[in-house]
Amino acid sequence: MKDILAEIVAYKRTVVAAAKQQRTISDLENAPLFNRSVVSLVNFLQQPQKSGIIAEYKRKSPSRGVINDRNSVEEVTQAYANCGASGLSVLTDDKFFGGSSEDLTKARTLVEIPILRKDFIVDEYQVYEARAIGADVILLIAECLTKEEVLHLSGVAHNLGMEVLLEMHTEAQLDKVSEHVNMVGINNRDLVTFNVDIDRSIALAAKLPADKLKVAESGIDNIDTIVTLRNAGFKGFLMGEYFMKQEDPGKAFNDFVNALAQTTSK
Ligand SMILES: O=P(O)(O)OC[C@@H](O)[C@@H](O)c1c[nH]c2ccccc12
């Protein structure tokens, strides 16, 4: 299989080069949202009355094709926030995921919970951009960055007051965790083969540094899985497709969170 990740990263480099011509970093620093106070996802994930779910707005993906092109970002993200999401994840990639920076900014103006910029960050310019569009957290993907790049990009995010979720998939990538990484996400989905394996999160979890909050990502579609992952020490659950593919994602989210609360209060 052709490495889609390499294709995405190459695309990002061209997008960033073009964006730099349009808006300099100092333009970004002057954006109205740039100096707003950041909301801590680490803090929200630790609040026991919340679900622990980071609910994702995603229109399409390379592995699934179109997931939802009917429900607006405003409608869905507001419903998620009102129904107990601990955070939101908004795809800002246009070409592969059908998202945009505007999507994230629209959500920002409507909700107060933390928002993760879900994209493929390969240049510090994108970290400034994340701050300018209203994100609280950035995603860094270990698979597409060197250890030095993770250190640098996480340091930039930290200096701008944002938090960092470092996503990984293999034990070898543990080495890339830096002091500025606040949360480690284990992706159940292999970004090269797209295979989903929940047991992988559980196996890797025990090996994560104790001071980093653990987030399980992808392919989560039932409450038992969340309970199992919680017992393995995970505090955050990043879920996209399961809600987005339903007729009414906001309602589906609400039903799921209510059922989860029932299960865990027993
Ligand atoms: O839709 P799912 O299977 O619930 O997965 C959500 C999220 O984990 C997934 O979209 C994701 C995880 N890491 C990524 C990196 C880039 C883009 C997308 C992702």
The per-residue pLDDT string of the chain (266 residues; one tens digit each, 9 = 90 and over) reads 458 999 999 999 999 999 999 999 999 999 999 999 999 999 999 998 899 999 999 999 998 999 999 999 999 999 999 999 999 999 999 999 999 999 999 999 999 999 999 999 999 999 999 999 999 999 999 999 999 999 999 999 999 999 999 999 999 999 999 999 999 999 998 877 778 899 888 999 999 999 999 999 999 999 999 999 999 999 999 999 999 999 999 999 999 999 999 998 76
pTM, entire model: 0.97
Cβ 129 under 6 angstroms from ligand 1: no
Write the CATH number for 202: 3.20.20.70
The predicted complex's ipTM stands at: 0.97
Active site residues: 56, 58, 118, 167, 187, 217-218
Residue type, 25: I
Cβ 68 under 6 angstroms from ligand 1: no
* Dist CA 2 CA 108 (whole Å): 35
Number of separate domains in the chain: 1
The DSSP-derived string for 213-235 is EEEEES---SHHHHHHHHHTT--
C-beta separation of 50 from 86 below 8 A: yes
Cβ 143 under 6 angstroms from ligand 1: no
> What is each CA distance from 168 to 39, 43, 165, 183, 187, in whole angstroms?
24, 22, 10, 11, 6
Q: The domain containing residue 159 runs over which residues?
A: 4-265
Tokens linked to 142: 């270990």
